[in-house]
Amino acid sequence: MAKDPFGALREEAWEANQALPRSGLVLYTFGNVSVFDRDRCVFAIKPSGVPYDALQVGDIVIVDCDGHVVDGRMRPSSDTKTHAVLYRHFPDLSAIAHTHSTHAVAWAQAMRDIPIYGTTHADHTPAAVPCALPLSDARIAGDYEAETGLQIVEEYALRGLDPLDHPMVLVGGHGPFTFGDSGAKAVYHSVVLEELARMAWMTEGLAPGAPELKRALVEKHYGRKHGEGRYYGQ
């Protein structure tokens, strides 16, 4: 059999999708991860409706940035167009994960940004996790999955955010999308986001109106891992 030209990409996407149920963030077939090949402008994504424990590397579908299947025997995830729009507008991303994890969804359903209350949050992103508004009726009636991607893109533009510095986002009434420089990292950000969402919820329960983390601590924690003079964990 000829070697699969998308073999490595499929393998990475398969591994990352397998990590989702292990993380405890997904039920049934919920959730999906894609991994982007910038040079070929294609990404690998989970097929639609396949249980995680039955998923084979060869089931992973290869799709172009317009959301068209390039290679694969199965139908790609129903969220494929959201991923395609995000890669088209954010070509620096290497991977995207989407879950309906409980605490992150709770904030999305409350239509609230997740405030930056502590250093765990600041270790990963230097501001509140943004929550985009739910889609308008026109967007819902249109190409819904592609419009979901555009809703996210517009939220980043509106707030002047770089998705590499802000690798977690909520869509109001729906749930979280997270980004990474690898499939594993996108899943890692989904796991971290769920924990940040839980911690912030508990913080507000204990101390309604608690202040956000002071700027000096945000800068210290974000900067030592991600800034110019980063030194943490090296």
Catalytic residues: 123, 232
CA–CA gap between residue 143 and residue 193 (Å, rounded): 28
68: exposed, middle or buried (Cβ count in 10 Å: 0-12, 13-18, 19+): exposed
> DSSP secondary-structure letter at 216?
H
Q: Would you give the distance in Å from CA 40 to the centre of its chain?
A: 21
Structure tokens at 181: 């420089």
Identity at 204, one-letter amino acid code: E
Strands 168-171 and 131-132: parallel
Q: Are 54 and 8 in contact (CB under 8 A)?
A: no
> DSSP secondary-structure letter at 59?
G
Nearest CA among 150, 132, 39, 36 for reference residue 93: 36
Q: Are 45 and 34 in contact (CB under 8 A)?
A: yes
